[in-house]
Amino acid sequence: MSLPIEPVKLWFFNLKKIQDHMKELNHLTDNDLKKFSRQKPSDLLPTETLKGNLAMFCQNEHIGLVFDAAFNEKTFLAFLRFISFSVEEAILGLFYRVAVNFKPNLLDLSPSQVAQMTMKEVYGSGPIESNIMLRELHDLLRTNVPSTFYPADGAPINDDSRKVRDAIGRILS
């Protein structure tokens, strides 16, 4: 089964491209990708010229079309979600595909229904090291999500009682 790793990797690749470009536009751009994702576009792009520059960059780099409303988003994470696609949905797709690969009966549920379930209900219990489903998910996340978002210890997915949607939220928070 082919797993949807490309959208997740592409989204973070595009966030990094925006960050690198923003460093050229504003010296207050944070060097840490996760911290940058939390910065406000309005703080780093105070003029129409700077906004236009970033909009043209995003269009030329095929990241997305930037409408004026995108600059009102509270973070660059939300800005990229506005002009591109939802990284939360892409990561949920990864969680879902790993789950249905091992438990085909979950195909009867939508990804959003699986997101409401606990990690234990979807992936079983036990630590990452001894749970093959969690190990596969962990390895894919480590491969496709920057380490500033997804720690090597797998903490966001290593809590049986955490809902899948909350695990995704922990990765991005």
Domain ranges of the chain: 5-83, 87-172
**What average pLDDT values come out for the chain (173 residues) when binned by 10 residues?**
70 97 97 98 97 98 96 98 95 95 96 97 93 95 94 93 96 93
**Per-residue model confidence (pLDDT) at position 164:** 97
**Per-residue model confidence (pLDDT) at position 2:** 53
Residue 94: Cβ-neighbour burial (10 angstroms; 0-12, 13-18, 19+): buried
Can you give the pTM of this predicted structure? 0.90
Q: Which stretch of DSSP H or E encloses residue 132?
A: helix 132-144
How far, CA to CA in Å, does 39 sit from each of 15, 57, 81, 127, 167? 12, 18, 14, 34, 22
